[in-house]
Structure 1
Amino acid sequence: MRLRLYLSITMMATGKPYDLRTPPSPNGWTRMLALDATHGPRQVSRNLKWLGDNRFIDLEPQWGRPSAIKLLSVAGDGEEYTQPRDGGRYVGVPVEFWTCGWLLQLSPTAAALLIVLREALGGHSEPRYIATAKRERYGLSHHTWTEARKELEGQGLLIVKREPQGSFYDFTRLRNAYQLDLERLNDPPRWT
């Protein structure tokens, strides 16, 4: 829920000063994120508060309206938000992720792994092995990685191939090589 909410905010607050002066109400967020109408507004409020408490956003109360939302640094340090592309390399997610309903269909862990793989594969279109040390940088447990990987494969967004790693003189073992199929984002997800 937090990731979906945060990704939606970043999708909406695209220009300086990276804020939403008239954000959706909790009921509006509930409809946008396809949440249960009874509990959704409370979930939205609780998760907006969490994002604020952890300094990913700043919530500015407004009389008679939902609090204005201002994006803060993605590092969670409370510093001013800057477009990732202004600081060098960044990971983009195609707009179809939102417009075709992928944000709502994928679990938050699968959405996170999709973004992780976009960065880890560095834009390469051929299958690539991701070293354990690099995988560990993202803080996803082995179980989380595996479950999210299976979901992305089931949706046709990820192809995993077994390829030998190592040189002629090394012990050669089969390892997973990952390849994203971002063209699949142009089509609606498989609703489960």
Structure 2
Amino acid sequence: MKSLRRVPLLALLALTSCGIPATGVVQAGGPASGTLPQTPVYFVDRNGGLVATPRTTEAPGEPEAALRLLMAGPLEGEAGVGGLFTEVPGPATSVPLPTATADAPGTPSSDAPTVTVAGGTMTIGLPPGVDRLSDTGVRQMVCTAAAAYRLTRPSVDAVTAEVTDGAGWRVRGSDEGCPDR
């Protein structure tokens, strides 16, 4: 019986003393990093449908930041090869906005829409120089702002949004019909 009790002890000793010396901390480069935060921005495809397009953002969950990316337009390759476009005009400016590329996905404008949320309603105020939008432009703004809002609030039900301009034009919409919702 004594020899049977020694077998597990001998096996444990054999496994723990395998001849590999102990080492200290081994430096192997920088800290681990994840992916950059992204937000969906809704552009229009050739058939007139909305397409959620991921954009890198420094402010995930912020509708105003997402709308600035929308106003910067699709990337150069998306507009040409993919046929994506927008019905949301860029800000009124005398200086042309830089062309978006894969390395510089669009410089956000300082003339961005304002977004406030009260209760279950989001209000999107168009910046000066941007007047009434087409129905598709309104859907782009509502879907983009609501998707950004949901990034940090995934349990929120349907988002109702009201888009307004400085002249008193108002239109309401919901993100219930947005693709990829």
Query: TM-score scaled by structure 1?
Result: 0.25
Greater RCO (Cα-Cα under 8 Å, separation 6 or more): 2
Query: TM-score scaled by structure 2?
Result: 0.26
Q: Point out the structure with the larger helix share.
A: 1
